Amino acid sequence: MDIGTFKAKETVLFCPNHKKLFFSNQLHSLVPKGGTFGFDVIVEVGFALFVHCRNNREVMMSLAAKNVFVSEREVSYLGRKFIIYLTLAHHNSQQRLRELMTKRGGYILHLDGTCEGDSPNLFCGLDEISELVLDTIKIPSEKKEYLVPFFKRIKKQYGEPKALVHDMARGIIAAVEEVFPGVPDFICHFHFLRDLGKDLLLDDYVKLQKRLRKLKIRPSLRRKAKYLEQKIKPGCQTIDEIMVSLESGRWQTTSFENIPLITAYALIQWVFEYPRQSNGYGFPFDRPYLDFYRRMQNANRLLKEIKNVHLRGNIKDNRPFYKIYWATQIAVKDRQLNALAVNLDQKANVFDKLRTAMRIALPENKNGINDNGDDADMKTIEEQVTAFRKWLVSDTQNKETYAKMVEQIDKYWKKLFADPLPVQSSEGIIYIQPQRTNNILERFFRAEKRRGRKKNGNASMSKLLKTLLAETPLVQNLKNAEYMKIILDGCSSLAERFSQIGSDQVQQKMAEANNNSEKILPAIKKLIRDSEFTKKIASLFLSESKINANCHLRS
């Protein structure tokens, strides 16, 4: 980075007695064996791509300004090389990382994976206490047979964890029971609630969505809003007067002519503001389509009350009120829609009672999917969930409706409530309270996806997850000062540390990464891009079958 492009003449010494070559240590501390770019360039590219989320072209331009010229293709190559060097430095430091965690009393292992579409599953093991990524792997799915070897690898590298936290995936639970028998094992409260809520609400919620689409209420209201918008003059003074009137509770205007037009338009827009009622938790915690229907009901009720009201006898035309009223009346009077909404409300109230008992993802909170739950005493939460279960079981009228919910609560009861764990640290006995959620990993995966989208400008993560090296999440550890101190191992920089890693190790890992790549072979890619591909296959195979048939007839 300091020199730019240069040529070096290296004198290689040979010992005839030992049949050994001696290379320049100074040169090989700057540039990898057989490499073109220095270790500092590799580190610069790695940080730009994976920490600062720059795309290849931005990195190329940034390096060019420093008199280092690379192509976009070379940027990708150097990025992969950075991850491989970091991976090897991480693996070489595992014993020291284990010692660090032991001094703190051990580690709490959070397990989770992410995938999208037909991509492989990027699965991670992360320590809750230090928030370090311990190990990663890419697997076809979260089946037990893929997870058991990975869990055994973590156990061998870092010892047995003090506790585990994960979601309710069957494969994870089965693999944990095999590899970590007897270790306190807990499921994420957020995932537990989400799965229960989906089982309880999803069928009715999907039916509500479909019914709303069939009645075409939203398109109808949008058309009417567009029509009314064209009638309202920009900068209309009546809008300000309505706002002042709403604040004071009394009409603050001398002209009532445009009030129905503006009020009807505002009501439609208020109905379409239904997503604001959601708290960012996602379904089933948020039920936006139900919120839309309830807002539409409220607007319909209000319009019914005011559509025939004549303000001081000055309103000439109430047609906007009538039009919106009749548009919403279709949905409000629909018996099937109303029955679905009532049923959903009843079930949602029960689900919200459980949320309140578990003190997590509460309707009044605004933390969204980053919610870790209230800092309530675990014993208190357990008592509240016990009371909720008794209340639910006592409801004999709806016993069948909530039978599965009760069954799930009973099934996972022991995995829900974790007492503080006493552990031996360098400072004596300390107590560690496992987190109630797996949000530490969920946030990590969301950050990974944001970085990928920012770098590639692509909403789909499927392609990124296919090409991403499995060890890429280790980059997150570089923010941790203790981790950096450990992997540097006395070196002043990552570039110096990378120079101490054998080039043969790097080449072997690069070869493994290329062999495991899911990229299409160049020849196949050229073949399938032929616009006549399918026709040529048909022609080829059909002609072959004709030849075989003729041969058979001749014989």
Mean pLDDT, residues 276-287 taken together: 90
Contact 399, 186 (CB under 8 A): no
Q: Given this model, what pLDDT does residue 430 score?
A: 77
User: CA torsion sign, 479 to 483 to 485 to 489?
Assistant: negative
The answer, yes or no, to whether the previous bond of 473 is cis (omega within 30 of 0) is no
**CATH: 3.20.20.70, 3.30.420.10, 3.30.420.40, 3.40.50.1220. Which one for 95-184+418-454?**
3.30.420.10
| 446 in Cβ contact with 458 (< 8 Å) | no
Going from N- to C-terminal start, the domains of the chain cover 13-92+489-515, 95-184+418-454, 189-417, 525-554
Per-residue pLDDT, averaged over 42-56, amounts to 91
How confident is residue 525, by pLDDT bands cut at 50, 70 and 90?
low
Give the pLDDT of residue 458.
65
| Alpha-carbon dihedral sign for residues 202, 206, 207, 208 | positive
Q: Which residues of 442-461 are buried (b: 16+ CB within 10 A; e: fewer)?
A: bebbeebbebbeebeeeeeb
pLDDT, average across residues 213-230: 90
Asked if 118 and 146 count as a contact pair (C-beta separation under 8 A), the reply is no
d(CA 365, CA 280): 10
Measured in whole angstroms, how far is the alpha carbon of residue 106 from the centre of its chain?
28
Kindly report, residue by residue over 423-472, the tens digit of the pLDDT: 777 777 877 777 778 777 777 777 777 777 776 666 566 777 777 888 99
Residue 553, pLDDT above cutoff 70? no
CA–CA separation, 412 and 5 (whole Å): 62
The token duo for 202 is: 């999803």
Q: Residue 123: helix, strand or coil by DSSP? A: strand
What are 502's two structure tokens? 């054998």
Task: Give the type of residue at 371.
Answer: D
Higher pLDDT, residue 512 or 15: 15
Q: Residue 133: beta bridge partners?
A: 126
pTM strictly above 0.75: yes
